[in-house]
């Protein structure tokens, strides 16, 4: 009997936003896997730290911070090989994921490598998207409202083209793209409605109008822009 | 001391997808509020039924199923007045919400009526969006991928215009709009990539290619269409 791979969304960072199913799985599986960036302490492991029993085996997948494909591919190859070994030995493996595994999550690279050979269950988590909206007190969409989710990594022209026709907007992965995003937002006349949120639900959380945002933003930051107000409000 | 209003996302339906913070609040507040459609049993209450202590006060907000504004407005007026009374009496109130309170949730109508007078904390929940993706085994977006969320209630021309330029797509509130959506999807050549999901995470869950979907869909149904495959996969 081979084991099951659980891809578990842990939410944006507040351990209270872990689901009951996620907590139960973390407390019972014999092997826990998670990504760690460039040998640093794993952020996602810290979210669930209190739930991880002392005796479990841990697989840290060391992901190089890179914009080129090959070194990242090699890291996921190594990580999935180690997970495959545990699954083949009959052990269930819980892979911890920030936010939700399938919304800009690196779990999909493991999923792509293992789904044809092993049983996989994805446990959805609270996304940073709705966590940021909750903390900012900003409804994302109602009734006929529309929501467009764009990564800040897109080229300026592509961002402008998409944002110009969007209703409500969520711009993720702001980080070093903050000034580019701010330029486009100002040009489209959206600055007054734009809210900046960094490290939502963590102790270091910061929320302010985008106009008052700091010069540089961490990777875990987001800009929300509310669309047409709901006519029913 | 007035009480705090908690807008609590309970996720798509599986009680396991309730967050620990939501479970804790439901078990401790003295008043619980929730919408019920046209006097039917409240779906959202059923998600949390096991967590609701026997001695709490319950406020059922009876929402008429209508596409006109006034009767719904009146229902939210009555519900928010009853909640305001409890908060003014010093009681905390937990309002139960399907999915996430700020993503197509009716909680925003209470929020709009009460946020200027009372302390409100929104507890984000797992959205049907990522729950459906998890169940369908379909990553929503990676790296430079984009996600557009549209309600099936939009007019056909508007849907077509939006869908034609979108990357990954989530079409919510399919219900009685199924045939209209299918027509647009076929016209845009997207039928082969479209997945139909109804009642995700519940016992009656159904997932199939849109081409094989039933003639009629319940309100809690969704169509997911994957965009450009991630070049890193």
Helices (H), B117-204: 128-136, 156-164, 178-187
Q: What is the pLDDT of residue A4?
A: 98
Nearest by CB to residue B109, choosing from A154, A165, A232, is A232
CB A91 within 8 A of CB A58: no
Best mutation target among B119, B134, B137, B207 (most A Cβ atoms within 10 Å) is B134
For residue B140, the chain A residues in CB contact (below 8 A) are: 102-103
User: What is the side-by-side strand order in the sheet with A221-225?
Assistant: A206-209, A194-198, A221-225, A168-172, A147-151, B147-151, B168-172, B221-225, B194-198, B206-209
Closest approach of B193 to chain A, Cα-based (Å): 17
**Structure confidence by residue, pLDDT tens digits, B88-133:** 999 999 999 999 999 999 999 999 999 999 999 999 999 999 999 9
A97: left (phi over 0), alpha (psi -120 to 50) or beta: beta
Name residues whose C-beta falls within 8 Å of residue A114's C-beta, 6 or more positions apart in sequence. Answer: A5, A80, A83, A84, A87, A120
Q: How far apart are CA B160 and CA B150, in angstroms?
A: 11
For residue B148, the chain A residues in CB contact (below 8 A) are: 146-149
DSSP structure class, residue B120: E
Domain A4-123, CATH among 3.30.70.1290, 3.40.1010.10, 3.60.20.10, 3.40.50.300: 3.40.1010.10
CB B98 within 8 A of CB B121: no
CB A36 within 8 A of CB A42: yes
DSSP structure class, residue A152: T
What are the residue ranges spanned by the domains of chain A?
Answer: 4-123, 128-225
CB B21 within 8 A of CB B6: no
pTM of the model: 0.96
Q: How far apart are CA A39 and CA A43, in angstroms?
A: 11
Name residues whose C-beta falls within 8 Å of residue A71's C-beta, 6 or more positions apart in sequence. Answer: A64
If one compares A51 and B63, the residue with the highest pLDDT of the two is A51
Best mutation target among B20, B195, B200 (most A Cβ atoms within 10 Å) is B20
**Residues A233, B108: C-beta atoms closer than 8 Å:** yes
**Structure confidence by residue, pLDDT tens digits, B147-179:** 999 999 999 999 999 999 999 999 999 999 999
**Structure confidence by residue, pLDDT tens digits, A70-118:** 888 999 999 999 999 999 999 999 999 999 999 999 999 999 999 999 9
- Percentage of chain A modeled with pLDDT above 90: 89
CATH number at B128-225: 3.30.950.10
Asked if pLDDT for residue B231 goes beyond 90, the answer is no
For residue A72, the chain B residues in CB contact (below 8 A) are: 232
Report the 10 Å Cβ neighbour count for B202: 15
Asked if pLDDT for residue B72 goes beyond 80, the answer is yes
**Structure confidence by residue, pLDDT tens digits, A166-192:** 999 999 999 999 999 999 999 999 999
Q: What is the distance of C-alpha A82 from the center of its chain?
A: 23
**Residues A16, B19: C-beta atoms closer than 8 Å:** yes
Question: How many contacts, defined by CB atoms under 8 Å, are there between A and B?
Answer: 191
């Amino acid at each position: 009997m081979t084991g099951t791979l659980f891809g578990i969304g842990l939410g944006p960072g507040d351990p209270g936003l872990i689901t009951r199913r996620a907590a139960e799985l973390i407390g019972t599986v014999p092997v826990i896997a998670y990504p760690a960036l460039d040998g640093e302490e794993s952020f996602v492991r810290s979210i669930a730290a209190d739930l991880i029993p002392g005796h479990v085996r841990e697989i840290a997948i060391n992901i190089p911070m890179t914009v080129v494909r090959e070194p990242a591919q090699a890291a996921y190859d190594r990580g999935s090989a180690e997970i495959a070994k545990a699954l083949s030995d009959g052990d269930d493996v819980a892979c911890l994921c920030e936010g939700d595994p399938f919304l800009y999550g690196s779990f999909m690279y493991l999923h792509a490598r293992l789904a044809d050979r092993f049983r996989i269950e994805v446990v959805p988590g609270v996304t940073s998207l709705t966590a940021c909206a909750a903390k900012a007190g900003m409804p994302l969409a109602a009734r006929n409202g529309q929501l467009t989710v764009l990564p800040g990594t897109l080229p300026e022209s592509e961002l402008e083209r998409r944002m110009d026709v969007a209703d409500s907007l969520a711009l993720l992965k702001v980080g070093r793209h903050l000034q580019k995003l701010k330029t486009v937002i100002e040009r489209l006349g959206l600055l007054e409605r734009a809210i900046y949120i960094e490290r939502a639900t963590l102790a270091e959380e910061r929320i302010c109008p985008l106009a008052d945002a700091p010069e540089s933003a961490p990777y875990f930051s987001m800009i929300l822009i509310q669309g047409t107000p709901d006519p029913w409000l």
